[in-house]
Amino acid sequence: MELYSDIASPPCQNVLLVAKRLGIKLNIKETDIMNAGVVAELTKVNPQHTIPTFVDDGHVIWESYAIAIYLVEKYGQDDALYPKDPKVRSVVNQRLFFDIGTLYKNVLANINMLIEKQQPSAEMQKKLEQALDLTEKFVAERSYIAADHLTLADIFVLSSITALEWLRYDLERYPGIRAWYGRVTAEFPDHADFLKEIREATKQFIVTYCPHLEY
């Protein structure tokens, strides 16, 4: 199984964490999508040339949500990460859709403004704050964000929260998120090393492509 990936990318982090949780060994193909030559090669596999892109014995999938669900359904020893119970799964799905359409969307929008040497508007900052306010409510309802145990929703929201480091975002007013973050990262014994890799890769990306930013 091959994964075209860059650990600085939150969507790639999602897939890497799911694979860790499932005990799956991936052949990581480091992919710099800022490099035109690399993108040209990736386009041969994925016409949308996005990462992560996953290849399993010739079967190609992209979009991290789709890859994660595929991995759980095909290689999971149980359905804990993506429960089959319709009611529980519906909450997991809602949180996943909330992440892609609201939380991560607004985190990324604010980051992209900084990359483009602009400051996020007051409206953009407000939308991010509203997304985090909702996240705080979600994690206050139960120990994890969608169930009483770790699910895919926790992993995806974790990467979105981790990406706030780009913005030097202060989570002091979100005690629920901070407590939840500790519970989720504790599910991954080597998360400190994983986070170190993320920070090193992010710093390298910024030095190379966004030297005007501080990280």
Same domain for 90 and 182, yes or no, is: yes
Which CATH number goes with the domain that contains 112? 1.20.1050.10
Q: Which tokens sit at 15? A: 């897939």
Which CATH number goes with the domain that contains 64? 3.40.30.10
> What Cα–Cα distance (Å) separates residue 105 from each residue in 12, 48, 66, 158?
15, 19, 17, 14
Same domain for 97 and 184, yes or no, is: yes
Same domain for 119 and 176, yes or no, is: yes
Determine the Cα–Cα distance for residues 116 and 128; give it in Å rounded to an integer. Answer: 18
Same domain for 107 and 180, yes or no, is: yes
Same domain for 21 and 50, yes or no, is: yes
Confidence (pTM): 0.96
Range of the domain at 54: 2-76
Question: HEC string of 31-77?
Answer: CCCCCHHHHHHHHCCCCCCCCCEEEECCEEEECHHHHHHHHHHHHCC
Same domain for 59 and 143, yes or no, is: no
pLDDT of residue 112: 96
pLDDT of residue 214: 79
Determine the Cα–Cα distance for residues 157 and 10; give it in Å rounded to an integer. Answer: 10
Q: Which tokens sit at 173? A: 């007013």
Any domain includes 200: no
Same domain for 102 and 152, yes or no, is: yes
Q: What burial letters (b/e) apply to 167-199, b meaning 16+ CB within 10 Å?
A: eebeeeebeebeebbeebbebbeebeebeeebe
Same domain for 66 and 101, yes or no, is: no
pLDDT of residue 11: 98
* C-alpha 150: how far from chain center: 15
Domain boundary among 76, 106, 136: 76
Same domain for 48 and 121, yes or no, is: no
Domain boundary among 58, 76, 94: 76
Same domain for 115 and 176, yes or no, is: yes
Q: What burial letters (b/e) apply to 54-91, b meaning 16+ CB within 10 Å?
A: bbbeeeebbbbbebbbbbbeeebeeeebbbeeeebbeb
Residues in the chain: 215
The three-class DSSP label of residue 191 is helix
For the segment 131-160, the average pLDDT, to the nearest whole number, is: 97
pLDDT of residue 82: 98
The closest alpha carbon to 106, from 125, 121, 119, 122, belongs to: 125
How many percent of the chain have pLDDT more than 90? 98
Tens of pLDDT, residue by residue over 90-127, are 999 999 999 999 999 999 999 999 999 999 999 999 99
Same domain for 62 and 106, yes or no, is: no
Any domain includes 213: no
Structural contact between residues 46 and 22, judged by C-beta atoms closer than 8 angstroms:
no
Catalytic residues: 9
Structural contact between residues 74 and 80, judged by C-beta atoms closer than 8 angstroms:
no
* Domain count of the fold of the chain: 2
Any domain includes 201: no
Any domain includes 68: yes
Determine the Cα–Cα distance for residues 189 and 129; give it in Å rounded to an integer. Answer: 30
The closest alpha carbon to 120, from 133, 106, 132, 134, belongs to: 106
Any domain includes 31: yes
Tens of pLDDT, residue by residue over 52-89, are 999 999 999 999 999 999 999 999 999 999 999 999 99
Same domain for 41 and 62, yes or no, is: yes
Does 215 have pLDDT greater than 80? no
- Please calculate the CA angle 92-97-99 and round it to the nearest 5 degrees: 95
Tens of pLDDT, residue by residue over 22-60, are 999 999 999 999 999 999 999 999 999 999 999 999 999
How much is the mean pLDDT over the chain?
96
Domain boundary among 14, 41, 76: 76
